[in-house]
Structures are given as structure tokens and as C-alpha cells.
Structure 1
């Protein structure tokens, strides 16, 4: 337990004990003058304090507080001690019970207390002629504090939801600001990379002795950075004043061949197999699938030390299945070092109601497996 949490717990306990003592003193004081004919015995005050001190545990065990206070009240009345103030403490217990417990538990407990208290007051105390009066008083005595407890609970719950909504709005504003910064910084960098690659390519293409591999690599850099810049602009267009229609994924599975070809130009052998009609997939599912493959291949290039990878995509029976494997070093996935790549893939898949797995493959290397449902529910 942290120091702050420990202090808060100490404060809560001190408050509960202080409240119990205060109510005990107040009820005892009112009990002294409840019957002008004689002073209550010490046992009456003992029962009052039993009911009062039970309130000290009302935060953790509201049922115990309610049961002890009701038992103390019943004993107090059976011994024919002065009525009146003693009813305050069980009413406070009812308030805290209704505040702390769900309504589906509060209602049957209150009904049970009502059914027990009415005959108790009517027959045990010899007030047979006043059954309806007793029933009305008991109903008000139980219902009013219970209703107040639920009102306080709902008001506090509404304030909590409002504070959480405010925090979420603040977090959303921070994400929007961060996305704008990413758009500006990364967009500028990609534009510079594309421009420089284009200039170098223009110069080398005029030289007959230029190495073919260099020309191909520069062309790949130029094309990839240009597409990435277009994708970034389209994805973040709503943050720059664009329309919501621009939120559609820029790349879908139909563009996968270009992505794989770019990876191959970088030196990684990639085998691909696609089955099913990927053109018929919902745009959201197809775009998410493209991003999963893109990020998986990026991780292979950056971390796997692999020489080859395979991409298998199967569409059918309302589910799109994606498998990306490599022949790299593999190894167990460290959750604390998974980074944004694995997390991003998982969140994309889960946002469409799918399943995601990533880890070392049984035959070596690393494997990414994702299943994205689609069909009548769309995406």
C-alpha cells in the first residue's frame, strides 16, 4: 500500500470512528430527557453505544452495522427503555447500507426488516390496536433514510462519471495535439526524404555508369516515402480541417503487392499467398489487415534478423485470417518491451472484434496471427 493510500485509509477510519462517537454522544444526550418520569438505566446507554459504535465499521461491513444496530434497538425496546432517540442510529445504518450496496440487495433487505419490525412493535410491545400506525411509521423510518442513501450514491456516481468524462476529453485533446505534431514533423521529414531521393534519382538516371541497384533503391525510397506521406495526410486530414470521408483507410489489402515489393527491394525475401475475395472486404477490415501486415513486416526488418518471411491471407466464412512468419531469431515476447508495433496491431484487430496473437513460432522465428470477423455486421 502506498503512503498516500495509507493516509487516506487512516483518515477514513478516523472519520468513521468520529462519526460513531458523535452520534453516540448526541443520542445518549437525547435519551436522558426522553422520559421525564425516570432516568434511563446504564444498560440503556450501553445499547445506544453498541448501535453507535457499529457505525464505525459501516464503510467496510454495512451489513454488520445494520444487523447490530437493529438487534440493539430490538433489545432496547424489549427492556422497555425510553423510546424516541434510539431510532436515530438504526436509521443512519439504513442510510449507509442503501448507499453502499446495490439496489437489488437493498430492497429485499428493507422488505424483510419491515416485515419483522411491524409485528414486533404490534405484538411484542402490546400495541395491537395501532398496527396500521406502526406499519406507516416503520415504512417511513426505513424508506426515507434508504431513499436518501440512494440519492447520495447516484449523485456521487454522476459526479464520478462527469470527472471521468472530463479526463477523457482532456486525454482526447492531448492525443489530437500529439497527432498534429506527428503530422507536421513526420510529414515534413517524409517530404524531405522523397525530395532528396527524387533529386538523386534524377541525377543518377542521366549517368550510364550508375549502379542499377542504387537506382532501384532510390526509386523505392522515393515511392515509399511519397505513399507514406499521402497516407499520413489522408489519415490525419480531419485534424487539419478535412472531412470525415477522408478517414477511410488510404491503403487496403489490394495495395499489399506494392508493400511486399518495396520490402523485397530492401533485401528481405517475402513469399505471399492470398486466398478469397479481398476486394469484397469492408474497407475498415481491409485497411486494418493492411496495417497489421505492414507493421509485422516492419518488425521483421527492424528486429528479427531474418532472411525471409511469409505472408498468408485467407478470406472466407466471414473471417479474414492473417499469418506473418519469419525465419529470424524469434524469442519470447517481453510484454514490457513489446513497443507500439505489437500494441498497435493488437488494438487494430481488437477494435474490429478480432483475435490477435504474436510470439515465437514452433519451428523458429516469429509469428503474427490475426483473425478479423466481417460480414453482416460490417466493420
Structure 2
């Protein structure tokens, strides 16, 4: 079993090393209780031998929970049947630790073997000799508690695993849906450009005279390939269409940001738009992705930032486009926004163009989304 690392004030603590330390401490304490405490005679000899052995099971309980529990159970049975249960704290603590490992971490078959190994010797000895006294009641109570704890912990772990699987499924579905949405949007934008190429090639072919045969053939080839590309695009993207009808409107771009900013202001979030660098035409997909990223970020700010102000910075670089959407609200933004899937959608759009996305809380307060999209 792979032990998880515990964190304590920035330090990583390996639970297996903790068990080694605890086992060593219990072994030392058991010897002190044997030789410095009030025990004596045969019990001292039993504690001297059995105490460190019982403590040793704690050292292996995470890696071999069944072995640790079975060993601890059998050792306790042998000691109880041959002499009597030792009356020292370290011995009992080590036994509890190993039995907990058997109960919670062992596989079902090994747990059944361990529970049987722990209970059977005492029950058989009591049936034959009538000793140890009180052993049957203690064994029955121990078995009941082990089964109860295993049931409670098992139910909790199953619920946690089910919740984790559901979260993974939701995340995968969100990613697939967002990719389909991006593909549909890009299809609408690219199909428009290809259609223009086909129309212009056809128009030019029709006005050429008969002496320009080679040019006419080239234009016919362009027109034919363009129409074929449009047909294949429609066929492929048709599989990505959702049941909800897509709006028949042009896909937005960076020129539509002022309208978006106005809509967000009217919804109650003060927003300022700042544009740096020389405005130039960018590939239609980048324009669309940049607009959607700003839209998602402002929607998140509107829903989660509370009383806040926001700003949108658009920077045109030589070969890149930079976006920064920030707010100064006290609320923690959730990575979900209506219409898309929040940060998941942003990551998909940025990854599509090999860009970089950085999101998180600002040192001065608020939340910021920073995007770098290469334009070449």
C-alpha cells in the first residue's frame, strides 16, 4: 500500500516513517514498564519478550496491514492463553494500532483470515480449559467493533471513490462538450472564409476570356476543392452538433469587446477596457477564442467576485496577443461559468493555439486571468 505524505506546516511527513518511530518508542516504553514499573516475576519476562514484538507489528502495519494484524492477534492470544493479558499501556496501544490496520486497510479475504486468527484461539482455549477468563466476551466485543469500523470506513471510502469518479466523468464531459462547442464555432468562422474563396474563384473564372485556359483550370480546381472542403467540414461538424439549435449569428471577435463590456456593466459589474498596441486583423479563430476567454472571465467575476470592479487589458504584440482580466472583489471565483465551462473552456481554447494560461488570486486582492496567444 502506498502511504500518502502528510503535510505539517510545509513539511512532508512519510506515515511509514512515523510508524517506525512510534514502534521504536512503544518498544522502549514496554521495556521501561517491564523493568521500572510495578510488574515482576513471570509477567516481567513476558512483557520483555512480547512487548517489543507487539510494537514491531506497528512498524509494518501500513505496508502489510494483514500481516501486522494477524501477528498482533496471534501474539495477544498466545500471551493471554499461556499467562494472562499484560497490564501495560504500550502493549495495548501497539495491539490497537495493528488491529486498526487489519480492520481498515486489509483486503476482505485477508481481513476475514485475520479476524479468524484473532478470535479462534481464544474461543477454542476457553472451550477446552475455560481460560482465559473474560476472553470470550472481550473477543466478541472486539470482533463486533472491527466489523462496525470496517463497515463505516468502507462506506465512507466507497462514497469518496464514487464522488471522485463522478467528478472525473463530469470533467471529461465538460471537456468534450467544450471542444465540440469550439469546433462548431470555428467551423462557422472558417466556412465563411472558404465560401468567400470559392465564390471569388468562381466569379473570376466566369469573367476570363477563352485564351486564359490555364488560369481557368486553376480557378476551377480551387472552386472544386473549396466546395469539397466545405462539404466535408459540414459532414464532420454535423456529428458535433448538440440538440439545441445554434444561433445563426456571426461569430464575435475583438471588435465586439466594447459591446460585451457594456452588457457586463449593465448587469452590475463596473468594467474598464484598455487596448494597447496597434489593432490589426488576426486569424478568425484567435479573435473568437480571445473574445470567449474575456466573456468567460467576466461572467465568473460577475457571479463570484461580489462587490468589485473589473478591468480588461488587450495587448497587441509583434507576434502575440495578451489578455488580462482582473477584478478586485473579495469573493473566490469558481471555475464555472454559464454557456461554457469556465476555466476548462479557457484551457481548451488556449491549448488549441499553443498559448499560455495563468489564473489565480492577486496579491492585492481579487482574481486575475492572464492569457498569451501566439499569432504567428
Counterparts in 2 of 1:160 and 1:16: CA distance versus 1, 3 Å: farther
Q: Which of residues 217, 225, 228 in structure 2 aligns to 1:224?
A: 228
After TM superposition, the structure 1 = structure 2 runs for residues 125-140 of structure 1, keeping only pairs within 5 Å, are 126-127=130-131, 134-140=135-141
1:102 maps to 2:107: yes
Tell me by how many angstroms 1:200 deviates. Answer: 1.0
Residue 145 (structure 1) aligns with: 146
Residue 55 (structure 2) aligns with: 52
- Contact 1:110 1:142 (8 Å CA) reproduced: yes
Query: Which structure 2 residue ranges, 5 or more long, are not aligned?
Result: 247-376
- Contact 1:66 1:97 (8 Å CA) reproduced: yes
Return the structure number with greater helix share: 1
- Contact 1:191 1:226 (8 Å CA) reproduced: no
Query: Which structure 1 residue ranges, 5 or more long, are not aligned?
Result: 244-379
Instruction: Give a deviation string over 1:167-207, Cα, whole Å, max 9, x none.
Output: 44234323333332333234312321122112211320343
Runs of 4+ in structure 1 deviating by more than 6 angstroms, as ranges, are 7-10, 25-39
Residue 155 (structure 1) aligns with: 156
Q: Secondary structure at the match of 1:127?
A: coil
Distance in 1 separating the partners of 2:67 and 2:20: 15
Distance in 1 separating the partners of 2:82 and 2:122: 16
Instruction: Give a deviation string over 1:31-66, Cα, whole Å, max 9, x none.
Output: 999989989415414412311221111111123212
Residue 198 (structure 1) aligns with: 199
Distance in 2 separating the partners of 1:37 and 1:47: 14
Tell me by how many angstroms 1:14 deviates. Answer: 1.7
Counterparts in 2 of 1:48 and 1:91: CA distance versus 1, 3 Å: same
Distance in 2 separating the partners of 1:127 and 1:201: 104
Instruction: Give a deviation string over 1:327-349, Cα, whole Å, max 9, x none.
Output: xxxxxxxxxxxxxxxxxxxxxxx
Counterparts in 2 of 1:165 and 1:34: CA distance versus 1, 3 Å: farther
Q: Which of residues 59, 62, 67 in structure 2 aligns to 1:64?
A: 67
Instruction: Give a deviation string over 1:255-278, Cα, whole Å, max 9, x none.
Output: xxxxxxxxxxxxxxxxxxxxxxxx
**Worse-superposed segment, 31-40 or 52-61:** 31-40
1:116 maps to 2:117: no
1:16 maps to 2:19: yes
1:185 maps to 2:186: yes
Q: Secondary structure at the match of 1:230?
A: helix
Question: Relative contact order, CA 8 A, sep 6+: which one is greater?
Answer: 2
Counterparts in 2 of 1:30 and 1:109: CA distance versus 1, 3 Å: same
Counterparts in 2 of 1:104 and 1:41: CA distance versus 1, 3 Å: closer
Instruction: Give a deviation string over 1:145-178, Cα, whole Å, max 9, x none.
Output: 2431343244234324323432442343233333
- Contact 1:96 1:149 (8 Å CA) reproduced: no
